[in-house]
Copies of this chain bind each other. A is one copy, B any other.
């Protein structure tokens, strides 16, 4: 139980174990990119356009227990609940402080949230700039300030994400920064729409020349989104304030690592990735391949928490490859396991929350 249920995909588990000792806060940086409206790219919503609302609904559910902007249950058309069900259940049962951070929502969340003043919804990277000129620099700087003032005196800061289309944009950012990624990122669907993603990434990369990007953050303006660069800024601010940084997410966190690495601001001793086993063991993607090429030696910890034995079909679908990760789910699992929570206790908390959500 507990610690023994966390495994290292790469690096050394001890780094994370020491890192999450003490007290910290989990931030969830959220926003939208119109890239998610390309038909087939994201299943994180009932229609391509509806994916723009998903981060706001996820955050409202996370904080208030139900979406407020739309009266919906945060479950995909196929019946798979948002990974925020895991985050909410685990954070409440095992005492993880949460702070949502709006980096570019489509519509403002009706629950309290931290806000980056320059927050902006991203563009469709196959046909237009990912962000307005200069936005990456502003978001990085503002998120740095937030990380720096919030983390001072805390032991760790975890940072999750919610951005449909994020893996596609992450692949474009990593490739644009010189890392192989287009065939390594994961998907929230059971079947990864790899050819479509590759086409979108190729179109984004073909726009790099017209963007005239001269540095890392201008490259993110060209092919990125508001979330990854904000997580990067928050991570640097938190680390400089003395906190250990846990990137609580899947292959998307490769884009964060790539930005940090190319900025010369990556420190593998005080940074780790924490994710789910559905990402760690996914055959359709390789978080290990991504991290080893960008940040050799950096620890990727995965939660050996399974939903196979759940009494709910919707939760068991995670074992078939649906959803996999998001909204800090993997990070919340890793943190609670490392603090000694048992997988059975966690399953009870998640099932109880999911049951409540279904009104059961």
Contacts and interface: CB of A to CB of B under 8 A. Distances in A.
A115 B116 contact: no
B63 A98 contact: no
Interface residues of A, number: 37
B114 A115 contact: yes
Contacts of A22: 23
B142 A97 contact: no
B114 A23 contact: no
A223 B114 CA distance: 28
A99 to B, nearest CB: 6
Contact of A150 (B23, B99, B149, B155): B99
Interface in A101-126: 101, 108-117
A143 interface: yes
Interface of A: 22-23, 25, 62-64, 91-92, 94-99, 101, 108-117, 142-143, 145-146, 149-155, 242
28 contacts: A22-B23, A23-B155, A25-B25, A25-B97, A25-B150, A63-B145, A63-B149, A94-B153, A95-B152, A96-B152, A96-B153, A97-B149, A97-B150, A97-B152, A97-B153, A97-B154, A98-B150, A98-B152, A99-B114, A108-B117, A110-B117, A111-B117, A112-B145, A112-B146, A113-B115, A114-B114, A114-B115, A115-B115
